[in-house]
Amino acid sequence: MRIGELAERAGTSTRTLRYYESRGLLTARRAENGYRDYDEDDLRLLLQIRTLQDFGFDLEDTRPFVDCLRDGHPAGDSCPASLAVYRRKLAELDGLIGRLADVREQVAHQLAAAEEAAGQAQPRCEMTGWERGTR
């Protein structure tokens, strides 16, 4: 299939496919007329890349999955290098979740303090210690 058909079937642009090719993630064969030529295996690689990017993986993080598929494995995540990327991504997500939980707790505390202060004549800002009307 030509580049336009591959892009359409994968839901991406030809520009993106050329970029993936420049990064070595997608390899185009050339037809006799010089046009790029792709097959179903290329579509499978591209769908793997797009799925991982939808999950928040960097483009470079998709490389072990692509290499795994190119090596003939039935799935891009059936190789040790791919599993290592999954583990690293999970650790990153766990860290983000922890930080978000901390921020949520702080915002909830500030909200509770603000709601309590709303009933007082001189509300106090917990973050600065400043009381309204004293500045």
- List of domains in the chain: 3-118 (1.10.1660.10)
pLDDT of residue 121: 47
The mean pLDDT of the chain is 88
Residue 12 to residues 2, 15, 64, 92, 126, Cα–Cα distance (Å): 14, 8, 21, 27, 49
In this predicted structure, the answer to whether residue 82 has a pLDDT above a threshold of 50 is yes
**pTM across the whole model:** 0.72
Q: What is the pLDDT of residues 25-81, one digit of tens each?
A: 998 888 888 888 999 999 999 999 999 999 999 999 999 999 999 999 999 999 999
Whole-number pLDDT of residue 135: 47
Burial (Cβ within 10 Å: 0-12, 13-18, ≥19) of residue 66: buried
